């Protein structure tokens, strides 16, 4: 018999010897607990493939997708097309990181533990926050966990979230809130302060989902004055240039860490950033790596404050999270180590500069205007003479990809994200396509 | 630069080389060394109003690329991993992670696509996900699946939200507030129930390691939301049951790498009656053969994460399932069960067996006998490190004292299984004759045992800023 599992090391002689040692003739003798009619069912799954066949099959599927790099690309939001230094995947995808488990045995897991400790340290510096955990699933579940943590810390059951928080994050928060039955109130950012009374937390995003800069300090002050906490949804690159959450009076900072060297991969696996003030550390969800010493007095690292976690506290744990996104945290650590402060600033600045240059050109097109009252960062919403959705589809027809409204009930338009990957020719292509399409739309209106 | 370290093995006086440790990035930092991976945008600061600009310092370390590469390479070398050796961690299924899966997940057509792209620009990805759902539905005998949960615990939470929505729809959501879990359950089970606002009722196991049916019957009532079970259970034993909802950790069964703690993916398969409540968005195949993300169904629990799953992980799982096919998957299960029973047969004389019956893919030993000789399950685990193996899971499940939970998987060659058994037997012998040497382990790992108590008492969760 040849192996149907190409990764099996067992020859028929091996199997025969193993059966003999167990004292049986076939494995079926071990399966007596399984009812006969449930044993070895025919499932109707396809037959196996050789590696070369599976590679070819999946390359064909991959070829049916339009990669971001295949033309002008301005979609962004929580997931961004950022430059990934060549060394990042080489390091983060090393087998010793990739194929290790959670570091339950610290003596043989120092690579993971130190790399995650470095992630916590680097991210803490970026956010100017005291404590960063070793990751949540993504930005949206980090927001939901932040709300749960504020509920634990305050004993209140209402959370107030700004409508300009990424809609994916708001929707996930709504779903999570159904679990313990929390009240979630969505209000415009400008109304957060007026709704602080009785809230476990105010959740604000800066820069917001449309790219606008938000004055977080008065929101944090209002939350504190009302006995609640302030949660800021942030973006890693923005912190290179903007005053970070820790300097704005924020208690919990959360966000999507994908832009830190992690591929977009259709939305996952990504990195939920979760940071808090030191006073709140024992309410935090997720794993934390701490420094300690071994029996010989040598510095080492371990998972710590584990009495918060489900494997110790079960139903009294701060969260149910077990498997997290550790590899993404390690990836982010390699990214930040390679980029350094200069590289991180350069990437952030380039996005800002390109967004502002592009905004000026697009706003000069008749019928188009920037749909923001104040300053913005590296993305912006453009109000256009035709519905955002129609313009988005018309642009896609000429291979220019943009996003339309971000599920905000009152605002329509297209949203343009720039990063260091936005080229001048991409920008030219977008401007001329918008000119052409909106001119056509205006003529159609005039003709009518 | 790292110094060569040695240590003297106490009992023999032999000098042993220890793997070099790495300094922290903050200790490698030298101002002016940062790399040049990206440049430009120098005039951008003026575009940001002064009151918003960062005034806090940004003291990230500055390190050249060659140093960063060596740093993380050296760190990687301090790790034990499936790629370096047998990793028999019970309940974790540390089987070999095929390399072709990783290569395929990193193809630009999969890695460089944005979840907000229109459906017609990601047809291949949607088809892959749709087909993976079908494969899992067929495999589990269920009717529908969602691929969204990022991990097992996330899948449990999603399932309980689905149950909650189902009961609410039937009008008895208000009175149902208890979730039943066996005492052998993983800690995520009760924690997920608590996150859903439910009470947890724990049910004992019987003498055979199954859920005790009398206790279960006593625990049931019209205030029960549902019953959460692992099958084969966390003792590696099979229980006969009819499920409404099943989740699978593809980072276990379907060979996707654990990534030092994650990412995983925990697809959830359900019977038809629960399908309307599954998370949004669902993938739909249209009559013309094209695929799209459907609108939010009225009874859906909504979104459980930003986008629809850990796609990069799911691509790997799909690749694995297509590579093995039905026969290969059956063979893998067969071999996993055989390997576990083969190891059990070799170890049953040296350790106590928690439940003496044929096991499935894993089994639980107890070091109670060794405990009486002064050696705990943890000591056995640390001694295995010196023998060149990753330890099994210790102290879980909680119902077995001094438990050692062993899962060899189907991808360890017989000679490796034999070597592992021999190492376990040697340790059992040493426990009888020289328990002090077992308690001193590990002596050959990068570090000796770590002080976890001080770590928790005086938490140091980040480095000091580079100076």
Specify the DSSP element, H or E, that contains B320: helix B311-347
With contacts defined as CB-CB under 8 Å, which chain B residues touch A40? 330
At A382, is the pLDDT very low, low, confident or very high (cuts 50, 70, 90)? very high
| CA–CA distances in Å: residue A383 to residues A166, A167, A448 | 19, 19, 22
Identity of the residue in B249, B302, B459 whose CB atom sits nearest the CB atom of A171: B302
B239 CB near a chain A CB, below 8 Å?
Answer: yes
* The domain made up of A87-334 is a member of CATH 3.40.640.10: yes
Report pLDDT digits (tens) over B56-104: 999 999 999 999 999 999 999 999 999 999 999 999 999 999 999 999 9
The pLDDT, as a whole number, for residue A407 is 66
Q: Is the pLDDT of residue A214 over 80?
A: yes
With contacts defined as CB-CB under 8 Å, which chain B residues touch A64? 109, 122-125, 127
Q: Is the pLDDT of residue B467 over 60?
A: no
Specify the DSSP element, H or E, that contains B180: strand B178-182
The pLDDT, as a whole number, for residue A359 is 98
The pLDDT, as a whole number, for residue A447 is 66
- Is there a contact between B386 and B443 (Cβ–Cβ < 8 Å)? yes
Mark yes or no for CB contact B324/A4 under 8 Å. Answer: yes
Report pLDDT digits (tens) over B156-194: 999 999 999 999 999 998 899 999 999 988 999 999 999
Exposure string of B143-155, with b = 16+ CB inside 10 Å and e = fewer, is: ebbbbbbbbbbbb
A49 CB near a chain B CB, below 8 Å?
Answer: yes
At B3, is the pLDDT very low, low, confident or very high (cuts 50, 70, 90)? low
The pLDDT, as a whole number, for residue B177 is 95
Report pLDDT digits (tens) over A70-108: 999 999 999 999 999 999 999 999 999 999 999 999 999
Mean pLDDT across the stretch A200-219?
97
A285 CB near a chain B CB, below 8 Å?
Answer: no
Mark yes or no for CB contact A322/B313 under 8 Å. Answer: no
Closest approach of chain B CAs to the CA of A79, in angstroms?
Answer: 7
Domain A87-334 in the same topology as domain A75-80+341-447: no
- Long-range residue pairs from B6-11, CB within 8 A, at least 24 positions apart, any chain: B7/A296, B7/B443, B9/B443, B10/B440, B10/B443, B11/B434, B11/B437, B11/B440
Mark yes or no for CB contact A352/B47 under 8 Å. Answer: yes
Identity of the residue in B114, B200, B391 whose CB atom sits nearest the CB atom of A79: B114
Disruptive mutation site among A42, A135, A320 for chain B (greatest number of B CBs within 10 Å) = A320
Alpha helices, DSSP H, located in A41-100 = 51-62, 87-92, 95-98
Report the residue of chain A nearest B303, measured CA to CA. Answer: A172
At B12, is the pLDDT very low, low, confident or very high (cuts 50, 70, 90)? low
The pLDDT, as a whole number, for residue A113 is 98
The domains located in chain B, with CATH, are 100-321 (3.40.640.10), 334-453 (3.90.1150.10)
What does pTM read for this prediction?
0.97
β-partners of residue B145 are B269
Residues near A228 by beta carbon (within 8 Å), at least 6 away in sequence: A150, A154, A156, A196, A198, A199, A200, A201, A202
Number of H helices, E strands in chain B: 14, 14
Q: Is the pLDDT of residue A448 over 70?
A: no
Cis preceding-peptide flag for B325 (omega within 30 of 0): no
Chains A and B form CB pairs within 8 A to the count of 707
Residues near A361 by beta carbon (within 8 Å), at least 6 away in sequence: A427, A431
Mean pLDDT across the stretch A350-363?
98
Identity of the residue in A49, A293, A305 whose CB atom sits nearest the CB atom of B322: A49
Among the ranges given (A306-320, A400-414, B84-98, B220-234), the one the predictor scored with the smallest mean pLDDT: A400-414
Identity of the residue in B60, B111, B465 whose CB atom sits nearest the CB atom of A344: B60
Identity of the residue in A125, A269, A350 whose CB atom sits nearest the CB atom of B263: A269
Task: State percent of chain B over pLDDT 70.
Answer: 97
The pLDDT, as a whole number, for residue A260 is 98
Establish whether this prediction's ipTM goes over 0.85: yes
The helix, strand and coil proportions of chain A, stated in percent and rounded to the nearest 5, come to: 45, 15, 40
Q: Is the pLDDT of residue B234 over 70?
A: yes
Q: How many CB atoms are closer than 10 A to CB B4?
A: 8
With contacts defined as CB-CB under 8 Å, which chain B residues touch A179? 157, 160-161, 164, 195-197
Q: How many CB atoms are closer than 10 A to CB A394?
A: 18
Report pLDDT digits (tens) over A43-66: 999 999 999 999 999 999 999 999
Residue with tokens 């008065």: A218
Closest approach of chain A CAs to the CA of B268, in angstroms?
Answer: 16
B349 CB near a chain A CB, below 8 Å?
Answer: no
Mark yes or no for CB contact A265/B87 under 8 Å. Answer: no
Three-state SS string across B202-231, please? Answer: EECECCCCCECHHHHHHHCCCCEEEECCCC
The pLDDT, as a whole number, for residue B13 is 72
Residue with tokens 């069912």: A41
Residues near B193 by beta carbon (within 8 Å), at least 6 away in sequence: A315, B160, B179, B181, B199, B200, B225, B228
- Specify the CATH number for A75-80+341-447; select among 3.10.20.30, 3.40.630.10, 3.40.50.1400, 3.90.1150.10: 3.90.1150.10
The pLDDT, as a whole number, for residue B1 is 40
The pLDDT, as a whole number, for residue B16 is 76
Specify the DSSP element, H or E, that contains B293: strand B291-293
- Is there a contact between B270 and B282 (Cβ–Cβ < 8 Å)? no
| CA–CA distances in Å: residue B397 to residues A102, A353, A424, B210, B234 | 17, 56, 59, 13, 7
Mark yes or no for CB contact A265/B446 under 8 Å. Answer: no
- Is there a contact between A55 and B105 (Cβ–Cβ < 8 Å)? no
Report pLDDT digits (tens) over A93-147: 999 999 999 999 999 999 999 999 999 999 999 999 999 999 999 999 999 999 9
In chain B, positions 121-180, which contact chain A (CB-CB < 8 Å)?
121-125, 127-128, 135, 138-139, 141, 150-154, 156-157, 160-161, 164-165
Of A381-385, B204-208, B421-425, B444-448, where does the model show the most confidence? B421-425
B301 CB near a chain A CB, below 8 Å?
Answer: yes
Domain ranges in chain A are 12-62, 75-80+341-447, 87-334
The pLDDT, as a whole number, for residue B242 is 82
- Is there a contact between A150 and A252 (Cβ–Cβ < 8 Å)? yes
At A373, is the pLDDT very low, low, confident or very high (cuts 50, 70, 90)? confident
| Rounded distance between C-alpha atoms, residue B171 and residue B129, angstroms | 34
At B2, is the pLDDT very low, low, confident or very high (cuts 50, 70, 90)? very low
The pLDDT, as a whole number, for residue B372 is 97
- Reduced to 3 states, what is the DSSP secondary structure of residue A369? strand
Mean pLDDT across the stretch B429-451?
95
Q: Is the pLDDT of residue A1 over 60?
A: no
Closest to B68 (Cα-Cα) out of B22, B5, B20: B22
In chain A, positions 5-24, which contact chain B (CB-CB < 8 Å)?
5-10, 14-15, 17-19, 21-23
A396 CB near a chain B CB, below 8 Å?
Answer: yes
Sheet containing A403-404: order of strands: A369-370, A379-383, A414-417, A403-404
Report pLDDT digits (tens) over B28-65: 999 988 778 999 988 899 999 999 999 999 999 999 99
At A413, list the tokens: 């338009």
The pLDDT, as a whole number, for residue A417 is 98
In chain B, positions 58-117, which contact chain A (CB-CB < 8 Å)?
58-63, 65, 68-69, 71-73, 75-84, 87, 89, 92, 94-98, 100, 102-117
Mean pLDDT across the stretch A295-316?
93
């Amino acid at each position: 018999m040849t192996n149907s599992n190409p990764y099996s090391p067992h020859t028929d002689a091996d199997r025969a010897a193993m059966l003999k040692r167990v004292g049986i003739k076939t494995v079926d003798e071990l399966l007596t607990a399984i009812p006969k009619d449930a044993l070895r069912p025919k499932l109707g799954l396809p037959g196996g493939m050789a590696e070369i066949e599976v590679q070819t099959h999946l390359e064909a599927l991959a070829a049916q997708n339009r990669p971001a790099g295949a033309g002008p690309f301005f979609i962004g939001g929580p997931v961004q097309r950022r430059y990934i230094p060549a060394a990042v995947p080489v390091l983060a995808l090393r087998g010793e990181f990739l194929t290790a488990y959670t570091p339950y045995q610290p003596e043989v897991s120092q690579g993971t533990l130190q790399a995650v400790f470095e992630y916590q340290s680097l991210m803490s510096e970026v956010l100017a926050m005291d404590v960063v955990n070793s990751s949540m699933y993504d930005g949206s579940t980090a927001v939901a966990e932040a709300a749960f943590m504020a509920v634990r810390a305050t004993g209140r059951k209402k959370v107030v979230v700004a409508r300009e928080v990424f809609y994916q994050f708001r929707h996930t928060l709504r779903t999570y809130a159904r679990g313990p039955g929390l009240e979630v109130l969505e209000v415009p950012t400008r109304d957060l302060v007026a709704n602080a009374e009785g809230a476990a937390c105010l959740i604000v995003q800066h820069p917001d989902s449309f790219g606008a800069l938000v004055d977080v300090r008065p929101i944090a002050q209002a939350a504190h004055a009302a006995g609640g906490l302030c949660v800021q949804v942030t973006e890693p690159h923005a912190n290179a240039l903007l005053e970070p959450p820790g300097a704005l009076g924020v208690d919990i900072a959360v966000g999507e860490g994908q832009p830190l060297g992690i591929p977009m991969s259709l939305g996952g696996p990504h990195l939920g950033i979760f940071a808090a003030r030191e006073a709140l550390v024992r309410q935090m969800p997720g794993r934390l790596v701490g420094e300690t010493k071994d029996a010989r007095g040598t510095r080492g690292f371990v998972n710590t404050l584990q009495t918060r976690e489900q494997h110790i506290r079960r139903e009294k744990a701060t969260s149910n999270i077990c498997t997290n996104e550790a590899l993404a945290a390690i990836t982010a650590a390699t990214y930040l180590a390679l980029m350094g402060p200069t590289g991180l600033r350069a990437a952030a600045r380039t996005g800002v500069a390109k967004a502002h240059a592009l905004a000026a050109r697009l706003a000069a097109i008749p019928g188009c205007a920037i749909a923001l009252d104040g300053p913005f960062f590296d993305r912006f919403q453009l109000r256009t003479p035709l519905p955002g959705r129609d313009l988005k589809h018309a642009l896609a027809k000429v291979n220019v990809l943009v996003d339309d409204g971000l599920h905000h009930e009152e605002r329509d338009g297209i949203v343009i994200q720039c990063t260091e990957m936005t080229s001048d020719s991409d920008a030219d292509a977008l401007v001329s396509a918008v000119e052409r399409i909106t001119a056509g739309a205006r003529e159609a209106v005039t003709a009518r | 630069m790292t110094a060569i370290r040695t240590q003297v093995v106490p009992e023999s006086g032999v000098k042993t080389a220890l793997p070099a440790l790495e300094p922290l990035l903050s200790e490698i930092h030298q101002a002016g060394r940062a790399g040049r991976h990206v440049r430009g945008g120098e005039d951008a600061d003026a575009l940001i109003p002064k009151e918003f600009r960062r005034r806090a310092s940004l003291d990230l370390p500055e390190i050249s690329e060659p140093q960063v590469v060596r740093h993380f390479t050296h760190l990687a070398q301090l790790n034990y991993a499936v790629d370096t050796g047998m990793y028999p961690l019970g309940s974790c299924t540390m089987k070999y992670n095929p390399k072709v899966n990783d290569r395929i997940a990193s193809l630009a057509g999969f890695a460089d696509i944005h979840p907000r792209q229109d459906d017609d620009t990601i047809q291949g990805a949607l088809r892959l996900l749709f087909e993976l759902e079908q494969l899992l539905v067929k495999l589990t005998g269920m009717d529908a699946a969602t691929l969204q949960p990022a991990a097992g615990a996330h899948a449990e939470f999603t399932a309980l939200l689905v149950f909650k929505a189902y009961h609410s729809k039937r009008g008895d959501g208000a009175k149902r507030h208890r979730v039943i879990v066996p005492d052998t359950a993983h800690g995520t089970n009760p924690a997920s129930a608590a996150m859903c606002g439910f009470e947890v009722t724990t049910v004992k196991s019987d003498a055979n390691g199954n859920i005790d049916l009398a206790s279960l019957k006593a625990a049931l009532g019209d205030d029960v939301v549902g019953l959460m079970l692992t099958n084969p259970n966390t003792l590696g034993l099979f229980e006969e049951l009819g499920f409404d909802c099943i989740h699978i950790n593809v980072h276990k069964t379907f060979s996707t790498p654990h990534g030092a703690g994650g990412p995983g993916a925990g697809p959830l398969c359900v019977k038809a009656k629960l399908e309307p409540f599954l998370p949004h968005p669902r993938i739909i195949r249209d009559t013309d053969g094209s695929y799209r993300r459907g609108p939010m169904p009225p009874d859906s629990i909504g979104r459980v994460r930003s986008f629809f799953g850990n796609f990069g992980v799911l691509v790997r799982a799909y690749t694995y399932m297509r590579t093995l096919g039905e026969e290969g998957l059956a063979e893998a299960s067969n071999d996993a069960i055989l390997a576990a029973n083969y190891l059990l047969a070799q170890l049953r004389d040296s350790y106590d067996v928690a439940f003496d019956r044929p096991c499935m893919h894993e089994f639980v030993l107890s070091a109670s006998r060794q405990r009486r000789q002064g050696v705990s399950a943890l000591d056995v685990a640390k001694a295995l490190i010196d023998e060149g193996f990753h330890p099994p899971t210790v102290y879980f499940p909680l119902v077995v004292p001094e438990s050692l939970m062993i899962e060899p998987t189907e991808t360890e060659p017989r000679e490796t299984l034999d070597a592992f058994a021999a190492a376990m037997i040697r340790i059992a012998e040493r426990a009888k004759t020289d328990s002090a040497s077992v308690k001193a382990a590990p002596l050959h790992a990068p570090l000796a045992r770590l002080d976890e108590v001080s770590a928790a008492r005086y938490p140091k969760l980040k480095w000091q800023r580079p100076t």
